């Protein structure tokens, strides 16, 4: 249900203070992007229903609208919406019923985004001059070159570099990767990849771009750039049209400075002949698309990045742990070699085995089994999908292999840490039950012990309010 909630940007946004949100939501393009990218499906439905409602909606009416069996989803959606400062829910009191409404800024910005109008120019000012030689193909290739350069740099920092070309990412990008602790320099002779670096490599491209951008935003604060402005600019990029030139002259000064960095990442292209124009590449225009959209729009990242190999999925894995990867890309082979024992290489294919040893080695580098499995799933060969579809939506990867990879990880990790908050010493059983039930409904409950009357949650803000309101009654 949750649309790629594991996304790094998502957590980052949730941590922002309310004032930041109010400023972010002034731009229609930002509101639209957050709406589209960050919200689960049901939350979107609620937002749209509330958008043109003149009066706040009583919560009891909302309860009537939602099926009783979906109460949990409803509560989770509402709790997320209020965390992102999209809706406000009035505090419960005895006189007035609780009502829910959209926050003012978000409401007016999203309305503007849907109807057009206003004078915010947040959807980019297109340039009227047309340059002939910049077409989609060129932009895709450009984006791919830039991005693969960065990935190669990260991969090659693993011990024996498989290939070392002179053309790597720019120095600023290298510094950024180091600052974000994706690679370390100096500890070993040639530098090294860190745990964060591994998980970075195994992410989907969209998530990779976001990871890097967020790193950059965090650093941008040091560079005395306003992160609200940076974020709005990124969301604007996501709403631009691929293959169209936009004016740089209407951008603010810090946005113009940002463009320089984005060129390094391959998100935008500035033709050398006309520096007042920029072209967003596919990496930029799909920033606010979600995973399923990328899969369906054949022109997704994967298309942009794997155009060289010709197909999206290339990995076949069998129940006997043999793995065949139809790729000649050194990058992909390097990533595969992180957790596979590769045995032979052919012009268009490598083959190997997933072994206990290779997985343990990967895990000792800090890669988790989930990352490996999701990498294998994303890059599974169409043939595997076909078999899965033939079994009416069966698993894509062989279940034995998936389970075994997990088991291999569990061999070493018998504990799982979850940061959070422990609630205990309730006055009576009823209060304990009420709070634990509420925590479960809003989806923050991790563990509970009825005998000891204590439970553990990942977030406490809403629960605190809930307990307060219980006390008030």
Partner 1 sequence: MNAVDGSDHYERAIEGPVPSLLVIVLDTNPHAWALLSSSLSLSKAVANLLVFINAHLAVNNANQVAVVASHSHRAVWLYPTPPSMSEDFDMNKAAASSLSDANKYRPFALIENSLVTSLRSLISTTTETDIATTSTTQMAGALTLALSYINKATIVFNDMDTSSKPAPTGLENTEPQIGLQSRILVVSVSGDLAHQYIPIMNTTFAAQRLRIPIDILKLAGDTVFLQQASDATKGIYMQLQNARGLLQYLMMAFLPDQTSRKHLVTPTQDVVDFRAACFCHRKVVDVGFVCSICLSIFCSPPEGALCLTCGTHLTMGDYGSKPAVMPRKKKKKRKLNGEGETHSGRGTPTPGD
Would you say 97 or 118 has its CB closer to partner 1? Answer: 118
Would you say 246 or 432 has its CB closer to partner 1? Answer: 246
Closest separation in Å from C-beta 22 to partner 1: 21
308: tokens are: 């060289």
Q: Please state the φ and ψ torsions of residue 86, each to the nearest 5 degrees.
A: -95, -40
Would you say 48 or 179 has its CB closer to partner 1? Answer: 48
Would you say 131 or 297 has its CB closer to partner 1? Answer: 297
State the Cα angle at 433 between 430 and 434, rounded to 5°: 85
Q: How far is CA 146 from CA 168, 169, 264, 311, 374, in A?
A: 9, 7, 7, 20, 24
Would you say 389 or 472 has its CB closer to partner 1? Answer: 389
Closest separation in Å from C-beta 70 to partner 1: 4
Would you say 19 or 70 has its CB closer to partner 1? Answer: 70
Q: Is the dihedral of CA 267, 273, 277, 282 positive or negative?
A: negative
Closest separation in Å from C-beta 31 to partner 1: 10
Find the Cα–Cα–Cα–Cα dihedral 310, 313, 314, 319, rounded to 10°: -160
Pairing mode of beta strands 246-247, 183-184: unpaired
Backbone φ/ψ region at 416: left (φ over 0), alpha (ψ -120 to 50), beta: beta
Closest separation in Å from C-beta 468 to partner 1: 29
Closest separation in Å from C-beta 112 to partner 1: 8
Residue 97: DSSP 8-state:
P
State the Cα–Cα distance between residues 154 and 194, nearest whole angstrom: 9
Would you say 390 or 451 has its CB closer to partner 1? Answer: 390
Would you say 182 or 287 has its CB closer to partner 1? Answer: 287
Residue 225: DSSP 8-state:
-
Would you say 65 or 346 has its CB closer to partner 1? Answer: 65
Closest separation in Å from C-beta 244 to partner 1: 8
Closest separation in Å from C-beta 205 to partner 1: 15
Closest separation in Å from C-beta 245 to partner 1: 11
Closest separation in Å from C-beta 134 to partner 1: 17
Closest separation in Å from C-beta 378 to partner 1: 11
Alpha helices (H) in 104-226, listed in sequence order:
104-115, 136-156, 171-179, 195-202, 205-222
Q: Quick check: 231 and 34 in contact, CB under 8 A?
A: no
State the Cα–Cα distance between residues 294 and 296, nearest whole angstrom: 5
State the Cα–Cα distance between residues 266 and 149, nearest whole angstrom: 10
Q: How far is CA 64 from CA 61, 68, 316, in A?
A: 5, 8, 48
State the Cα–Cα distance between residues 378 and 397, nearest whole angstrom: 10
Shortest CA distance to 285 belongs to which of 268, 260, 262?
268
State the Cα–Cα distance between residues 81 and 75, nearest whole angstrom: 10
Q: Quick check: 285 and 238 in contact, CB under 8 A?
A: yes
State the Cα–Cα distance between residues 350 and 331, nearest whole angstrom: 13
Closest separation in Å from C-beta 116 to partner 1: 3
Alpha helices (H) in 239-329, listed in sequence order:
253-265, 282-285, 291-296, 301-306
Would you say 116 or 186 has its CB closer to partner 1? Answer: 116
Would you say 307 or 342 has its CB closer to partner 1? Answer: 307
State the Cα–Cα distance between residues 404 and 427, nearest whole angstrom: 45
């Amino acid at each position: 249900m949750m649309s790629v909630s594991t996304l790094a940007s998502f957590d980052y946004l949730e941590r922002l203070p309310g004032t930041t949100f109010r400023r972010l939501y002034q731009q229609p393009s930002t509101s639209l992007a957050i709406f589209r990218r960050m919200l689960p499906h049901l939350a979107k439905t609620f937002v749209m229903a509330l958008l043109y409602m003149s009066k706040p909606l009583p919560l009891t009416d909302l309860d009537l609208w939602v099926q009783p069996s979906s109460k949990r989803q409803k509560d989770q959606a509402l709790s997320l919406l209020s965390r992102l400062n999209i809706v406000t829910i009035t505090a419960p009191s005895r006189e007035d019923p609780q009502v829910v409404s959209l926050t003012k800024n978000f409401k007016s910005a999203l309305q503007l985004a849907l109807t057009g109008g206003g004078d915010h120019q947040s959807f980019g000012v297109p340039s009227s001059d047309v340059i002939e030689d910049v077409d989609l193909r060129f932009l895709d290739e450009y984006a791919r070159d830039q991005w693969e350069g960065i990935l190669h740099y990260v991969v090659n920092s693993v011990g024996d570099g498989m290939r070392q070309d002179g053309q790597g990412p720019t120095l600023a990008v290298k510094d950024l990767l180091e600052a974000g602790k994706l690679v370390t320099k100096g500890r070993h002779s040639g530098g090294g990849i860190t745990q964060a670096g591994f998980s970075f490599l195994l992410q989907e491209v969209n998530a990779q771009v976001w990871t890097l951008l967020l790193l950059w935003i965090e650093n941008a604060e040091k560079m005395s750039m306003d992160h609200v402005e940076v974020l709005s600019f990124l969301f604007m990029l996501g709403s631009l049209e691929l293959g169209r030139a936009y004016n740089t002259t209407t951008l603010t000064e810090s946005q113009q400075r940002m463009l320089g960095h984005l060129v390094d990442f391959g998100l935008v292209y500035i033709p050398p002949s006309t520096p007042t124009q920029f072209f967003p590449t596919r990496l930029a225009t799909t920033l606010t698309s979600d995973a399923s959209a990328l899969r369906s729009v054949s022109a997704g990242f994967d298309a942009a990045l794997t155009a060289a190999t010709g197909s999206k999925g290339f990995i076949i894995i069998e129940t006997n742990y043999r793995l065949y990867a139809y790729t000649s890309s050194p990058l992909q082979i390097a990533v595969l070699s992180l957790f596979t024992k590769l045995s032979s290489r052919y012009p268009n294919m490598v083959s190997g085995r997933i072994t206990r040893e290779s997985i343990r080695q990967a895990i000792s580098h800090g890669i988790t089994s989930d990352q490996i499995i999701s990498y294998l799933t994303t890059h599974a060969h169409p043939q595997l999908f076909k078999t899965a579809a033939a079994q009416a939506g069966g698993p894509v990867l062989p279940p034995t292999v998936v389970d075994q990879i997990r088991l291999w990880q569990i061999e070493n990790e018998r504990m799982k840490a979850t940061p959070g908050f422990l609630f205990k010493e309730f006055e009576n059983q009823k209060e304990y039950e009420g709070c634990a039930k509420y925590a479960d409904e809003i989806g923050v409950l991790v563990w509970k012990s009825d005998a000891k009357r204590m439970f553990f949650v990942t977030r406490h803000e809403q629960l605190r309010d809930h307990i307060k309101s219980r006390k008030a009654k």
